Structure 1
Amino acid sequence: MRTTRVWGALGAALLTLGLAAGPAAADASPSPSASGGSDGSAPTQAGTSFRTATELQQGQRATASGSTGDYLYWSFPADTGQRPTVRASVKLPRTHGSETWQLDVYDGLRRHQSCQYGASSRTAGQSAESVELACVMRTVRGWAEPWANDPLPGTYYVRLTVVDLGAADLGQPVGAEVQVDSKDIGGASAVDGSLGKPLVPGIAVKSEARGDDSKAAVLSSFGSRDGWSSGWWSDRWVWTAIGAVLAALAGIGGYALTRGHGRPPTV
C-alpha cells in the first residue's frame, strides 16, 4: 500500500511538470510577428551599399533586378536564440560565360559572419539558367566577449554579387531573389549574459518627421513588438528545474523501494 501511494505521488508530480513545461515551450517559440513586415509587402528592389540596404523581414521573399557587377544589399533582424538561413537565387541571362556568384552576411558592426554550412559561393557554367546560394549562420547569442566575432542580436546585412566573370558579360541584366528564415534554437545555446543594446546601424538613411515638419535621422526600424529578447532568462531554466525535481522524485522513489516493508518480527 505504501509503495502504491509513492508511485501515485510520482505520477501526479510528473503530470504537473508536463503541464507546466507546455506553456514554457510555447513561450520559447518565435512569435508570428517576426516573420512578416508591417504592411506584409515584400521588397522588390535592393540597395547598393550598407547605408541603402533594403529592409527585409524574416519569412519574406524579396526580389530585385540588377546587372552583373552590381552589389545588391538587403538587411534583416535576428534575435537571441535564432539561427538564420539566408537563401539567394540569381536568374542569369540567356547567353553568358562562366561566372561565380557569392553571398556574404555581415552583422550590425559590418563584421563578416561565417556560415556553418551551405554553398555561399558557386560557379555557374555557360549553360546554367540560374544559380542557387545558401548560408546557414551560427546561432545568435545574447552576449559575447568584445574580441569575439559571435553573432549578436541586431541588424544583419546580406550582400549578393558576382566575383568572377568575363569582361563581355559585365553589365548584363539579372534577376535576384533573397529569403531569410530562422530556426529557434532556444536554451540549448543560451549564455549567462545580456547585450546592452542590439547591434543596429548608428544612423540609417531613413528619417522621421517631427511635429515642426523637421526631419531627424533614426535608427533602423527593425525590432519585435515586445522588444529584443536579450537577457538572462531562457527556457533552459525551466528544463533545469524540471531535471532537479525529477532527480529528487527518483531519490524518494528509490528510498521507498529499498527501505523494506515494515519492522522485523520480534521473538
Structure 2
Amino acid sequence: MWMTRVLSAALLMLGLAAAPAAADSSPSPSASGDSSAPTSAGTSFRTATEIEQGQQATASGSTGDYLYWSFPADAGQRPTVKATVKLPAAHAAQTWQIDVYDGLRRRQACQYGAQTRTAAPGTASVDLACTLRTVRAWSEAWANDPLPGTYYIRLTVVNLATADLGQPIGASVQADAKDIGGSAAVDGSLAKPLVPGIAVTSKSQSDEGDSSKSAVLSSIEPEDGWASGWWSDRWVWTAVGAALAALAGIGGYALTRGAGRPSRMPPGA
C-alpha cells in the first residue's frame, strides 16, 4: 500500500512539472490580422521597422532595395523568421535572401529553413524562412551565440538581371518564437538585453543626476518583459529529480531493512 502511495506522489509531481514545460513549448500565436501591423520597412539598421512576435508586417519596395525590420527575442526562445516576396508578372530569374542579425549586428546562422531561394522567370512569389539557434541568457565574449535583445531582419535580392532592377515588389515578414525552456538554460545572464541605445544616457538626465533612466532607441520588448535570466523550468525538474531520488532511497530501505536481521527463532525450533 505504501509503495502505491509513493508511486502516486511521484507521478503527481511529474505531472505538475511537465505542465508548465508543455505550455512553454507552444509557439507564439499569430497576429497576422492585427490592423496595427506595420505597412512599411526601414532601409538600414537604424531605421528598421519594429514588429512584435507573431505580427505580420508588409511593405512595398523595388527590386534592389534593402528592407529592414526588427523584433525582440528573449533567453530560452528559438526565433523563426518567415518572409514572402511578391514579384512582378514578368521578370527574369531572381535570387532572394533573408538575413537575421542580433543586437550587436552579428549575422546569425540559420539552423534550418530556406534562407536563400531563386524564383524562376514568371514566378509570382518566393517564400523564405530562417530558424535561429536558441537564444542564450549569457555567452562568452568570443562566441557568436544569439543573446537576448533586438534582432534585425534584412530582406534583399542577391542575384538580379539589370532589366529587372527597380521593378515594384511586395513583401511580408513574420517573426515567431518557440519557448525551449530549461533545456537551454545556462548559469549566467546579461546585465541588460542587447537593445539599441539602452546604455545611452541623455545629457539632461546626466545634469539632473538621474541615472535610473536611459534613452532607448528601440521600444520593443517581449510581451511578458525581459527575463531575469536566473529562473527556468530546469529548477522544477531538479527539484522533482531530488524528490524522486529521496523516495527511491526510502523505498529501497523499506524493502531491504529486514534482510540482515538475525533470526529470533529459538535454537532447535
Shared fold (TM-score greater than 0.5)?
A: yes
CA root-mean-square deviation: 2.7
The residue matched to 1:90 in structure 2 has which SS?
A: strand
Matching residue within 48, 69, 88 for 1:53 = 48
Matching residue within 6, 10, 25 for 1:10 = 6
From the superposition, tell whether residues 222 and 131 of structure 1 become closer, same or farther in structure 2 (CA, over 3 Å).
same
1:35 touches 1:57 (CA, 8 Å); kept in 2?
no
Residues 68-111 of structure 1 deviation map (CA, whole Å, 9 limit, x = unaligned): 00000000000010000000000111000011001000011111
Number of residues paired by the alignment?
250
The residue matched to 1:168 in structure 2 has which SS?
A: helix
Give how far 1:136 is off: 0.3
Quote the residue 1:90 is aligned against: 85
Quote the residue 2:102 is aligned against: 107
From the superposition, tell whether residues 41 and 30 of structure 1 become closer, same or farther in structure 2 (CA, over 3 Å).
farther
CA distance in 2, matches of 1:130, 1:27: 35
The residue matched to 1:115 in structure 2 has which SS?
A: coil
Quote the residue 1:188 is aligned against: 183
Give identity over the alignment, percent.
68
CA distance in 2, matches of 1:131, 1:26: 33
Gaps of 5+ in 2: 199-213
CA distance in 1, matches of 2:196, 2:143: 19
Quote the residue 2:154 is aligned against: 159
The residue matched to 1:117 in structure 2 has which SS?
A: coil
CA distance in 2, matches of 1:223, 1:91: 29
1:24 touches 1:238 (CA, 8 Å); kept in 2?
no
The residue matched to 1:152 in structure 2 has which SS?
A: coil
1:103 touches 1:120 (CA, 8 Å); kept in 2?
yes
Paired residue type of 1:152 = L
Matches within 5 A, 1:54-73: 54-73=49-68
Matches within 5 A, 1:227-238: 227-238=225-236
Paired residue type of 2:227 = S
CA distance in 2, matches of 1:157, 1:73: 7
CA distance in 2, matches of 1:184, 1:152: 14
1:194 touches 1:231 (CA, 8 Å); kept in 2?
yes
Quote the residue 1:243 is aligned against: 241
2:196 touches 2:216 (CA, 8 Å); kept in 1?
no
From the superposition, tell whether residues 121 and 224 of structure 1 become closer, same or farther in structure 2 (CA, over 3 Å).
closer
Residues 129-183 of structure 1 deviation map (CA, whole Å, 9 limit, x = unaligned): 1111000001000000111111000000000000111100000000101011111
From the superposition, tell whether residues 254 and 132 of structure 1 become closer, same or farther in structure 2 (CA, over 3 Å).
same
Quote the residue 1:213 is aligned against: none
From the superposition, tell whether residues 126 and 76 of structure 1 become closer, same or farther in structure 2 (CA, over 3 Å).
same
CA distance in 2, matches of 1:234, 1:218: 27
Paired residue type of 1:109 = L
Matching residue within 106, 120, 125 for 2:120 = 125
Quote the residue 1:206 is aligned against: none
1:36 touches 1:57 (CA, 8 Å); kept in 2?
no
The residue matched to 2:111 in structure 1 has which SS?
A: strand
